[in-house]
C-alpha cells in the first residue's frame, strides 16, 4: 500500500520535474532554433524586389501543390556564390585573423592585469573588479565614438604626440586595421580579465610556498604552478573574446573605414544596402558553422573541467 503511494508520488514529481526541465528547452526552441531555421530557409531562397524580398513563399492555400512548389524553389546557389565571389571568403579570413590577433593581444594585456588584481590586498580587490566592469555602464557605441575622437588625425592622441614633439606629422590610425584592433581590444578586455582573475584568485598561496620550499624560485614557480593552474581561465577568456570578435560589426564599421573587411560588416552591407536577404542569410549560417567548432571545443573543455573537480 505504501509502495503504491510512493510510486504515485514519484510519478507526479517526475512530471513536475520534466515540465521544469522542458522550460529552458522550449525557450531555446522558440528563441534560438526557430529563428535559425527561418534564416536557414531564407538562405536557400532567391532574392526579389518584393515584400518580403525573397521567394518562394509558402502558400498553404494552394494545398499540397503549394508545399511542393515551395520545396522545389529552394536551392544552394547563394552558398555557391559565397565560394565564388572573393569578397566573402576574404571577409571571413580577415575576420578570423583580426579576432586571433586581438585575442592574443588581450591575453598579453589581460594576464598581467588579472594577476596584479589577484595579488592585490584583499580589501581593494572588489574596487579593482569594479574598475574593470565600469566601462560597461556606458554604451558600447559611445565608447567606440570616443575612440574616433582619440585616434583621428586631429584627435587627442595626435595632438598630444605633436605637442610633445615625438612626431611632426599626424599619425593616420583611423580607418586602418590598427584602429579596429585597438577598438576590439579595448571593448572586450574585461571579458578576458574577469575569467583570468577568477582562476588566478582561486590559486592557493601555499602551493607557491610549497614550490619555493622545494627549490623553485618565484619566476620558475610562476611557469610551473601559476600558469598551468590558470589555463581554464585562459581558455574561457580567449573563447569569450574570440567568438564575438569574429562577428564584430560596430567597431570595424566606425573605426575601420572601408579598408577593413570583416564578415559582420559584409553581412550588414548585404542585408541593408544590397537588400539581398538570401545571400546575407547564407553568410550568417556559414559564420555560425565556422564558430560552432571553437564553441564546441570550449564546451568540451569546460565539461571536462567540471568532471575533474567532481
CB 201, min distance to other proteins, A = 15
Residue closer to other proteins (CB basis): 44 or 211: 211
CB 41, min distance to other proteins, A = 47
Residue closer to other proteins (CB basis): 109 or 229: 229
CB 207, min distance to other proteins, A = 5
Residues that bind other proteins (CB under 8 A): 204, 206-207, 209-217, 220, 224-225, 228-229, 308-309
Residue closer to other proteins (CB basis): 84 or 209: 209
Residue closer to other proteins (CB basis): 21 or 214: 214
Alpha-carbon distance values, 242 to 77, 130, 179, 261 (Å): 30, 23, 17, 17
CB 195, min distance to other proteins, A = 17
CB 121, min distance to other proteins, A = 14
Residue closer to other proteins (CB basis): 8 or 202: 202
Amino acid at each position: 500500500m505504501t509502495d503504491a503511494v510512493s510510486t504515485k508520488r514519484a510519478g507526479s514529481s517526475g512530471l513536475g520535474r520534466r515540465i521544469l526541465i522542458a522550460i529552458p528547452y522550449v525557450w531555446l526552441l522558440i528563441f534560438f532554433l526557430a529563428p535559425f531555421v527561418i534564416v536557414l530557409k531564407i538562405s536557400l531562397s532567391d532574392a526579389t524586389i518584393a515584400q518580403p524580398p525573397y521567394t518562394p513563399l509558402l502558400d498553404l492555400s494552394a494545398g499540397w501543390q503549394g508545399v511542393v512548389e515551395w520545396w522545389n524553389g529552394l536551392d544552394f546557389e547563394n552558398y555557391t556564390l559565397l565560394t565564388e565571389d572573393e569578397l566573402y571568403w576574404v571577409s571571413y579570413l580577415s575576420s578570423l585573423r583580426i579576432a586571433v590577433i586581438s585575442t592574443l593581444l588581450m591575453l598579453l594585456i589581460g594576464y598581467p592585469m588579472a594577476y596584479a588584481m589577484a595579488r592585490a590586498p584583499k580589501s581593494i580587490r572588489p574596487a579593482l573588479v569594479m574598475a574593470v566592469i565600469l566601462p560597461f555602464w556606458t554604451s558600447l557605441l559611445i565608447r567606440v565614438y570616443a575612440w574616433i575622437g582619440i585616434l583621428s588625425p586631429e584627435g587627442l592622441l595626435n595632438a598630444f604626440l605633436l605637442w610633445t614633439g615625438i612626431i611632426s606629422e599626424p599619425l593616420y590610425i583611423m580607418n586602418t586595421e590598427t584602429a579596429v584592433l585597438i577598438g576590439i581590444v579595448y571593448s572586450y578586455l574585461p571579458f578576458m580579465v574577469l575569467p583570468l582573475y577568477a582562476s588566478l584568485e582561486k590559486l592557493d598561496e601555499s602551493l607557491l610556498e610549497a614550490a619555493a620550499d622545494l627549490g623553485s624560485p618565484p619566476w620558475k614557480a610562476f611557469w610551473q604552478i601559476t600558469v598551468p593552474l590558470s589555463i581554464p581561465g585562459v581558455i574561457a577568456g580567449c573563447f569569450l573574446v574570440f567568438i564575438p570578435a569574429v562577428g564584430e560589426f560596430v567597431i570595424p564599421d566606425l573605426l575601420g573605414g572601408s579598408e577593413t573587411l570583416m564578415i559582420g560588416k559584409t553581412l550588414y552591407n548585404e542585408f541593408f544596402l544590397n537588400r539581398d536577404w538570401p545571400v546575407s542569410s547564407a553568410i550568417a549560417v556559414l559564420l555560425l558553422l565556422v564558430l560552432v567548432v571553437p564553441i564546441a571545443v570550449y564546451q568540451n573543455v569546460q565539461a571536462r573541467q567540471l568532471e575533474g573537480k567532481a
